[in-house]
Structure 1
Amino acid sequence: MPGRPTRLATAATRFAREMMRARLIGDGWVLLHASGVVFPGGRTLLALCDSGAGKITTALTLASAGAALLANDCCFARPHTDGTLHLLPWPATAAVGLGLLHALTFTHSARSHLQASEPPHPTQDQRVTNVLTTERASTLMSASGRELKAHIWPEQLTRRFGLSLATTGTAAGILLPRVTPSSGSPAHANATRRPEVTSSIFVTSNEERYPNIFGLTEGSNTGTPRARAEVLEHLNRLPRQEFDLSHDQTANTRLLTALTASLIPAVSPSPLLKS
């Protein structure tokens, strides 16, 4: 039957993915809502914030400046006996707004691949595909007011846009971004606040497509209470910085490279980071 091999391959891949998630959780890992970028020595900055507040903007800006991308939305964390917090990527589709895609100078490459008949991501709205193929748009909204975004596979971040992907890291600091609503607001660090990291950072079962992981973890699909408590304790010991991003990508890059140098002192504050 037409399409059956693709559907079977997709189902097998999803099942294998959930088997891996179950195994990691069983081994003491917990899944975080976090973007992450890796610098020399495996030192990793995690971007933590609510959905739409700037995680992916932070991660892709630093990755475009030379860091290696560990995660665009979620990653696994587990304390190590050496006192560090180890991190693993949890590959997922990146949802990137058209304005950010253009600011990162990724639009032309995305258009070239689509015009060369490379199929778009199956969950990408057709209106986004049409815009990427034919014209430039800074934003695209649905009738309900939700921003429609380009959907990008992890491997496309490398193949299309030349980003480096990391396979492991060690938590070294936390970035707490917020995108300011006004296009005229400058990018700046908030020096007076260091918010505590709370349990809202953990991915909960109702946020997963397969919340019970096919019953493979006997109900502990978000990690054990002990593992979660240890990860929270470690995250709150790390240096962290809250800041506001603007719609000026050059200013965002300048601010983020400076914050990187302050949180990981051995990393040069040059506008072009080397990983």
Structure 2
Amino acid sequence: MYTAQGTIEKSHLLAQHQPLVRRIALQMLAKLPASVELDDLIQAGMIGLLDASSRFEEGKGAQFETFVSQRIRGAMLDELRASDWGSRGLRQSARAVEKAIHKLEHVLGRPPTEGEIAKEMKMELHDYQSLLQDVQGCQLLYVEDFAKGEAENPFIDMHAQAASHDRGASNDPLAQLLESGFRHQLIDAISTLPERDQLLLNLYYEEELNLREIGAILEVSQSRVCQLHSQAISRLRARLKDELKED
């Protein structure tokens, strides 16, 4: 629908794209702890949709669906950061797993087993697996690594700042990462993970299967998929830190 001036009517755009807000919220919720409420994500996404409808300028080259999807996701991530959905204790636990994996990979020269990681962390195996389930979602790069006030430099910000010194680099941190070759480093890091971890990440992020579907393929429970996903992300972060230090 168009106005008398030939522009798209905002109310029509809002009504048309409300289902998109729910779809994006459900996609994000699958990768977040159980404490995050779907309604909270949808409410934040609607604010992003309203903002997008007022900011979108036709004729600028960007399609509205692409533009609004970015705004909706951004509004949801802002809400997650503002509400501190992952407690400081959980973030510290997630980093402890990552550090243990990083240390063992250097000592062993290979990806450590769950038992070896648990032993390094001075935990019983079942306690370590329970911890993996608790920290599910706390290691996501686009949330955790933009956190401010931590003892360590934010992982993405640090790399994006280095890339920003390149001539003609974008002001968008994610665009800087892509321009700097981070995507290739990510692919290389994934290729070093155990085969099961590679399959799990592909099913989760590329195929966008849910936990039940992945569990059926791997022949494990949904909770076990959750544990394996947390461990795979920790392995990936540990490897990426080494890759970035070599640049």
TM-score, reference length from structure 1? 0.25
Structure whose residues are more often helix by fraction: 2
User: Greater Rg, structure 1 or structure 2?
Assistant: 2
TM-score, reference length from structure 2? 0.27
Question: Relative contact order, CA 8 A, sep 6+: which one is greater?
Answer: 1
